[in-house]
């Protein structure tokens, strides 16, 4: 319900924000002033557990191809535990981070040994913004994501057999300052209309 309300209220804002969309690609840090940061130690799982809705209380779910892993803290920007995707080298593996409510920015620490990766911001299943990062034959451990747009999911497509994500941060869509006044006006208008109907009925 809340997500659909955001989509209706902020569709115009999302279109205007798209002009200032800023992909976060191979950055040394994630978004600033995040409303929520998930380090994946909030819910302890057995290594190898398929991760879907275990972190839903923190505003995110995952699908598919992600597993809970530990013992990789030697990689920069990553802290045990995290989520990993395993695939066959040379084949495409896709997984999605789904936000419970629309967000205006999100970033994650992402590590892979090599390969080509596509990051896509989605809203209601439609592409809002997308970019490609080619690590070639070099390893990468950096931050990726989006800001300056409204979206409710990030899809990651990888040509590498093994990737790790950690330190997922996101910022909620800000409520416009005029919105409470607008909603208050609607409520008052509804009361007036009901009183007029009662007066006519009398």
Which one has a higher pLDDT value, 87 or 126? 126
Is 194 among the domain residues? Answer: no
Residue 123 has pLDDT above 90, yes or no: yes
Average pLDDT over residues 106-127: 92
The pLDDT of residue 33 is 92
Q: How confident is the model at residue 198 (pLDDT cuts 50, 70, 90)?
A: low
Q: Nearest to residue 128, comparing CAs of 145, 141, 142?
A: 145
Q: Indicate whether 93 belongs to any domain.
A: yes
Cα 146 to Cα 24, 69, 107, 184, 192: the distances in Å are 5, 25, 6, 33, 44
- Domain membership of residue 163 as a residue range: 2-174
Residue 125 lies in a domain: yes
SS (H, E, C) 89-148: CCCCEEEEEEEEEEEEEEEEEEEECCEEEEEEEEECCEEEEEEEEEEECCCEEEEEEEEE
* Host H or E run for residue 162: strand 162-172
Comparison of pLDDT for 154 and 111, the residue scoring more: 154
Q: Is residue 202 part of a domain?
A: no
Residue 12 above 70 pLDDT? no
Chain segment 79-99, per-residue pLDDT in tens = 889 999 987 666 788 999 999
In the chain, % of residues over pLDDT 70 = 71
Q: Give the span between the Cα atoms of 120 and 122, in whole angstroms.
A: 6
> Is the pLDDT higher at 138 or at 67?
67
For residue 7, what is the DSSP state?
H
Backbone dihedral angles phi then psi of residue 187, each to the nearest 5 degrees? -65, -45
pTM recorded for the entire structure: 0.77
CATH code where residue 126 lies: 2.60.120
The answer, yes or no, to whether residue 118 has pLDDT greater than 90, is yes
């Amino acid at each position: 319900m809340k997500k659909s309300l955001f989509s209706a209220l902020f569709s115009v804002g999302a279109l205007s924000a798209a002009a200032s969309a800023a992909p976060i690609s191979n950055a040394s840090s994630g978004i600033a002033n995040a409303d929520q940061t998930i380090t994946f130690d909030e819910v302890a799982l057995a290594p190898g557990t398929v991760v879907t809705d275990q972190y839903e209380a923190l505003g995110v779910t995952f699908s598919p191809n992600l597993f809970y892993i530990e013992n990789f803290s030697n990689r920069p920007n990553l802290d045990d535990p995290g989520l990993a995707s395993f695939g066959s080298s040379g084949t495409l593996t896709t997984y999605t981070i789904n936000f419970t409510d629309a967000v205006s920015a999100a970033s994650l620490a992402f590590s892979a040994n090599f390969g080509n990766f596509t990051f896509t911001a989605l809203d209601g299943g439609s592409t809002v913004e997308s970019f490609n990062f080619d690590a070639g034959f070099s390893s990468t451990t950096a931050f990726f994501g989006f800001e300056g747009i409204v979206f409710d999911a990030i899809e990651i497509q990888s040509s590498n057999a093994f990737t790790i994500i950690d330190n997922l941060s996101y910022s909620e869509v800000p409520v416009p300052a005029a919105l409470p006044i607008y909603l208050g006006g609607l409520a008052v208008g509804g009361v007036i209309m009901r009183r007029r109907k009662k007066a006519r009925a009398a």
